[in-house]
Copies of this chain bind each other. A is one copy, B any other.
Amino acid sequence: MKLENVTEVSSKRWYDDACGTAMALELIGERWSLLVVRELMFGPRRFGELKADLGGISANVLTQRLGGLARAGILTRRMLPSPASVQVYELTPWGYESETAIRELGRWAARSPAHDPTLPLSAASLMLSFRTTFSRQRADGWTALVGFRLGGEEFVGRVDGDWIHVVRADPSAADVTFDGDPMTIASLVYGARPFRDAEAAGTLQITGNRALAERFVTLFPLPDKVAVE
């Protein structure tokens, strides 16, 4: 049957507001939408990867969101070339441009007293947080190539003094590599947890130039929490 959601044009749950911010809410205001975009921020991903990294989203909702975001022109479905022949979802160039807005939202919200940094964290969230909280003042011209192996997902961060670039890539050529789950790495960077502690627990492995790693984790100051009144 498939009725194709006939109402179509009159779908009626929009804001009817010319403001760009209201438009943004039409585009990514539904539950999970913005987090789907976040997960795609470092390149194409498969349905199952998205579902796994967005702890708790159900398959039908993910399907809906991917469809809506594709219709909005924020992402596209694409077939990886043979022999892979798997379907992936990838942001459009405009979709990638939402990163600034996503980062600003995160930067603002992280100051909430309710923010709990000990909750689970996806690999993409962690990498994105580096771009958000990077302090060029603390980096002060420093340069390094830092790798990450986060349970199957691999990234390389290149600190070049002014900025940090992060891409999905094989970290084997990096100066130093963190190997652990995202929460563990986050506890080093944002919780000032000693490396030895995590290593003793068996949840972290550092390979390469350890001194660089020790410096790296100091580059990302969190914004101050809001005072509770």
Contacts and interface: CB of A to CB of B under 8 A. Distances in A.
Interface of A: 15-27, 29, 31, 34-35, 38, 55-56, 72-73, 92, 94, 97-98, 100-122, 125, 128-129, 132, 183, 186, 226, 228-229
Contacts of A98: 108
Given A25-B105, A73-B226, A94-B111, 5 more contacts: A23-B109, A25-B35, A27-B112, A72-B114, A97-B111
A120 B35 contact: no
A186 to B, nearest CB: 7
How many chain copies? 2
Contacts of A111: 94, 97
Given A29-B31, A35-B15, A56-B16, A21 B105 contact: yes
A20 B228 contact: no
Given A15-B35, A16-B56, A29-B31, A21 B102 contact: yes
Contacts of A21: 34-35, 38, 102-103, 105-106, 109, 125, 128
